[in-house]
Amino acid sequence: MTTALALALGVVIGVLLGFLGGGGSILAVPALVYGLGVPIDQAYLVFAVAGYALVIR
């Protein structure tokens, strides 16, 4: 169930970012914290590491 929720949130966030442009952390971090119950420090770390990995690629 958690995997399905994570995928659904990822799709919604992806579509919204496609319409709105950048600024994914304002959508992704609250989705991780409130939607999936990830602690705030871990949610930000996941987003920062993923973003960094995309930039240096």
| Tens-place pLDDT, residues 3-51 | 898 888 888 888 888 887 776 677 778 888 898 898 988 888 877 777 6
Examine the pLDDT at 57 and tell me if it is beyond 70.
no
Q: How many domains does the chain fold into?
A: 1
The three-point CA angle 39-33-29 to 5° equals: 110
Q: Are 33 and 40 in contact (CB under 8 A)?
A: yes
Q: Give the structural domain span for 50.
A: 2-56
The predicted pLDDT at position 43 comes to 82
